[in-house]
Amino acid sequence: MTGALDRRGFLKLSAALAAGSAAGFSCIEVARAAPVEVPTVDTLSLRVLIDSAHDQFLKPATVQGVRHQPPGNGRGADYRKVLHNQWGLSLFAESKAGEEARTILLDFGYSPEALLNNIEILKVDPTKVDALIVSHGHHDHYGGLTGFLDSYRDRLQPELKLYAGGEDNFCHRLSPSGVQGQFTDFGQLDRRELTARRISTVLCEAPTVVAGHAFTTGQIKRTSSERILPNTFVERGIKDGLGCDASHYSPAELQGKIIADEHVHEHATCYHVRGKGLVVISSCGHVGIVNSVRQAQEVSGVEKVHAIVGGFHLGPAPKDYLTQVVAEIGALKPDVVIPMHCSGLNFALEAQAQLPDHVIVPTTGSRLTFGA
């Protein structure tokens, strides 16, 4: 098991971050580019705090040993409050290994209003959170973070850390406007706001164990036939203390250049569930869901895939490409495939056609349980 960064890249990144400490990088750590010992948990529960839809008519079901408890009517104690759905994703992960319990909050949706509303209605306890993970630097995955911290920081662990896939998380992102050469702002994760809220960041370009129960893939190798579908653009560099350090990127990615976003920082969050195999959570899967699962297998040394969960970014996929990717997912022999967020209705239908006994489609408020 080896980290995704080569030694030269790791040293360049470390030097760049050390040089940038005066510019507000002091709360940054870099995960060791060394083999990790992947932990095993007995059970894992994922509560969908935010997704794009809520279906109160879903029935409880167990598929290939995975239990899906739907959210019901989604109303709070005050009937005028109901679950908020939006383009984004947030997952509340609770795991147990023996008597040891851990809780991780993975991604934070598009807005704090939706996240805080749904935390209240679903009655999850954010004060139990042992770690925070951001999957990648898109606003629909980190937008609720600072508002969440404003509401709960004083009740959270004093040394709480945010695990991010890489420095590229902090770059400025833009969306195409429809006019050639013109873009609209899509924001950027501000490390100064994290520092102000006493959150330190761990850059996980190498595989990293999180809270003793989960692990991240590190930077994901691109070995499958998958390709990045049209998405955002990125501007690498620091302006007035905001942005990302560009010194360890290639000459084609020089500071100040707006280029197509290759999502080099995206990572997947994974668990090894005893007797079941890997649960691989790809919050958006821009670099390919098959690539993400293969990376998890390589990092962990575990071949068996129990569940592939999350956003797979195949909503915009043309039919022939979608059919091919679903077939490649099937070749991984997962027990269950659980599409959310940007996976697309087209993916859900194709997966149900090719893997009819292996698909769960949850909604906001759903609870998924893996293990005994």
Average pLDDT, 10 consecutive residues per value, the chain (372 residues): 38 42 52 78 98 96 98 93 97 98 98 98 97 93 97 97 89 78 80 95 93 94 70 70 66 59 81 98 87 94 97 91 95 98 95 98 98 86
Mean model confidence pLDDT for the chain? 86
Question: What distance in Å separates the CA atoms of residue 342 and residue 337, rounded to the nearest whole number?
Answer: 14
- pLDDT value for 243: 76
pLDDT digits (tens, 9 = 90+) for 131-164: 999 999 889 999 999 999 999 999 999 999 999 9
The answer to whether 281 touches 106, Cβ cutoff 8 Å, is: yes
Q: Taking the mean position of all CA atoms in its chain, how far away is CA 368?
A: 16
Q: Which residues pair with 202 in a beta bridge?
A: 29, 163
43-50 and 90-97 strand pairing: antiparallel
Block residue for tokens 């429809």: 178
- State the number of CA atoms in the 13 A half-sphere of 219 facing the CB: 23
- Phi and psi angles of residue 288, each rounded to the nearest 5 degrees, phi first: 110, 125
Q: How many residues does the chain have?
A: 372
d(CA 193, CA 163): 15
Q: What would the two tokens of residue 237 be?
A: 């560099």
Whose CA is closest to 364, among 58, 44, 128?
58
C-alpha distance across the termini of the chain, in Å: 28
Q: Which pLDDT score, from 0 to 100, does residue 7 have?
A: 37
Distance CA 82, CA 169 (A): 32
* pLDDT attached to residue 74: 95
